[in-house]
Each structure stands twice: as C-alpha cells, then as structure tokens.
Amino acid sequence: MFQAVKPAMTVALPASLDIAVIGAGAAGLAAARALRHPGLTAAVLEARERIGGRAHTLDRCGFALDMGCGWLHSADENPLAAMVEPQGLTLDRTPPPWERQAFDHEMTPAEQAEFREAFAAFEARVEQAAARGEEGPASALFEPGGRWNARMDAVSGALNGARFAEVSIRDYAAYRDTGVNWRVAEGYGRLIERLGAGLPVVAGCPVHRIDRSGPALRLETARGAVEARAVIVTAPTDLLAAEAIRFDPPLPDLVEAAADLPLGLASKLHLAVTGPEDFPADSQLWGRTDTAETAGYHLRPFGRPLIEAWFSADLARALEAEGEAAFSAFAADELADLLGSDMRRRIEPLAVSMWGADPWSRGAYSHARPGAADARARLARPVENRIFLAGEATSADFYGTAHGAWLEGERAARQALRALGLDPGPHPGDEGA
C-alpha cells in the first residue's frame, strides 16, 4: 500500500496575514511555496479537509488511482516532471494509451488512419482560422456531415470536458502540447500532496466573502475572519461565477470572465479486471463511433489488472445525476459490446470521480466559450494590485492541466510579492508579471 505524506493542516486561522492564498490545489500550493520569504506571513485557506484540489490519488487494492489529473502533459516542459523523482516517486515514461488501440474491434487499422487524418485536418482548420483572427465555436470547422464528427466530439470531451460546439476556436488553438506525456506511478495527486508538505494550510476553511472596502482585505471564512494585505484566489471558475466567494464591493468583470471559462466535466471510473493477460498493457479502446455519448477505456494502466474508464461532457453529467452506480452500468454495457458478454462478470468497480457534484470543484477543467478567447487574460488581471487570480483557467496555453495551474500559482505569488515591495527573485519569461 502506498503511504501518503500528510502535511500539517491543523494550522489555526491567523488574525492577520501579509498574503492569504485561497485554495490548496496545485495553484495554491505553488503560490504558497513561492511565498516562503523571510518575515512574510502567508497561509493557504482550504475548504476541504485535504490538499490537492482536483489532483487527488486514492489507494484501492494496493494501487494508486488518480481521480483527477493523471498525466504530466508536455512533460519535457512541465516543471512538475522534474520534481517527481526528488520526491521519492516513480516517473513512468510509457507512451500514452491513445497511441495504441487495443484490438481492431472498434475500427479497422484503415479506419483508425482515416480518423487520425480527419482530426488532424480539423485541427489544421482551427489553427488557420485562429491565425486569421476568426472566432466562434470550434465545431463550425467540422466537415459538414463528416463521418468522424461524433468521434471528434467524444475526443473533445476528453480534451476540454465539453463538446466542440461549446469551445472557442481561438482558445482551443492557443493550447500548447509538446506531445510528451508521462505519469507518476504512485499518483499525480500524491506528487502534489508531497509538494505541499510543511506548508501552512488552514483546512476546512472555505472563504465566503472578501471585503475590499478598507485598506486591508477582510476575508470572512467558515472559521472566522482574517485580514490580509493581499490575496491570491485559486478557486475554480464555476465557484467564482456563482459568487460562492463574494467580493464586496462586487467585481462584475471578474465574475463575467469566470463565467466565460466554465468547467467542463471529465469523470473517471477505475475497474479491477480478472484475466488481465487477455488485454494489451497500456492500450486504449473507445466505445461507439457514431455518437459522442461514449466512453474511453485505458486497458491495464502501468500493466496493472485494471481498466481506467473516462466519461466526459454531457454523458458524464447525465451519469453523475444518476449516481456512481450508473458509471459502472454504462461501462459494463460498452465493454460487453466491445469485448464479449463475460466482461460483465470480470470487472469490479473500485472508485469513481464525481467532480461535477463536488461542491468545491463543480467540474473538472475549463474551456473558453465561443467568443470569449480573451477571458483567461481578463481573469488573470490583478485587482487593485492586491487581489490576484490563478489556476489552470488563467493559463494562456497550458490550461486544463496541473502544471498550468502550478505555473500560474507561481506567477500570482511573484505579482503579490512585488505588490508588497518584496523581490520575488528572477524568473525567466515573467517580464509581464
């Protein structure tokens, strides 16, 4: 069984701070690490009783199961990749499963090649349209009546948590992917947890209101009030859009920017499987090709006797509304259709994520609405040089990722330090912060 490293999260709520960080996910923890400055008082106020946010690893049957982020995307540029082994964890460089389809039940090799070609052509049209300054829903660039449009929408669910009709052309084109994808064998959530060890976190402390009417910011929380000279807010966009954290006086531009960056939904179901030797390790299956209402299946991740099922967008929301058992029932039906009826008795559910139902997330990761490609920059704009926003949603090109959130947390910390007249030290590429 993998052992978690538990940071001290019993810190009492201080009466005052130099900098308060709201949220102990990747962005908040990165900010807190960057705020370790002589003489500076800072703490992270976290609504949950744990740290990590949407980076969360569970132990089941001796296996580490990532319920949220699981891939070190753009690993050759991802700063978190270099932190894995120094934290005593294992960096796994096995190529991702989407490069190897298991069997040819779902699509013949020729059809697989045809789909890859169609998707590449679609993405090229998106890039070209964005370069011309065009905006609108990315689905407008589908081939009318194209055979693979539904499958591309299923892929969009995995990439964006939403269908391409809900995704901005320019924002989708802005995402940067080096094509290098690695994993942490003990769990991505475990890495984030270890990186948070020793940081001052006040757990079970949701912030409800930020009074900015006076010279000090007054944060009202479930555990009392605290004053701060500056605040870094890393709450998910759906919470900001719903004003779960209320600013007084209001900040309508901030709320509007958050609403333009809604969280899509990607849900995971981890299944134990008997007779795993029947399936190629680290390979992938998708369900149907004629609808986006289908799941993707990672067979034997890390060579383990497991299947990791992905559900996204409208399908994930519908299944969440029915409850956890609905995910298992859907997966059993699809896997039986793909691999034979005996799959029903060969699989056993271990854990399912419900990020949309989680009151402190309300979704998985952000996408920009059509027409709102500038929303990430708007959300990242400091308020009064003392309120700083950070998270995956403020990342211009690594949005939707833990490392995008991490880099944004560091960026916001540097801005906050400068606002207090402190030198954050050099940081390449941060000239505009």
Question: pLDDT tens digits for the chain (433 residues)?
Answer: 333 344 444 588 999 999 999 999 999 999 999 999 999 999 999 999 999 999 999 999 999 999 999 999 999 999 999 999 999 999 999 999 987 888 877 788 899 999 999 999 999 999 999 999 999 999 999 999 999 999 999 999 999 999 999 999 999 999 999 999 999 999 999 999 999 999 999 999 999 999 999 999 999 999 999 999 999 999 999 999 999 999 999 999 999 999 999 999 999 999 999 999 999 999 999 888 899 999 999 999 999 999 999 999 999 999 999 999 999 999 999 999 999 999 999 999 999 999 999 999 999 999 999 999 999 999 999 999 999 999 999 999 999 999 999 999 999 999 999 999 998 887 654 433 3
Give the pLDDT confidence score for residue 353 in this predicted structure.
96
Within 10 angstroms of residue 277's Cβ, the number of other Cβ atoms is 8
CA distance 321 to 316: 9
The whole-angstrom distance between residue 236's C-alpha and the CA centroid of its chain comes to 10
Residue 431 neighbours by CB under 8 Å, 6+ apart: none
DSSP letter at 222 equals T
CB 237 within 8 A of CB 263: yes
Give the pLDDT confidence score for residue 10 in this predicted structure.
57
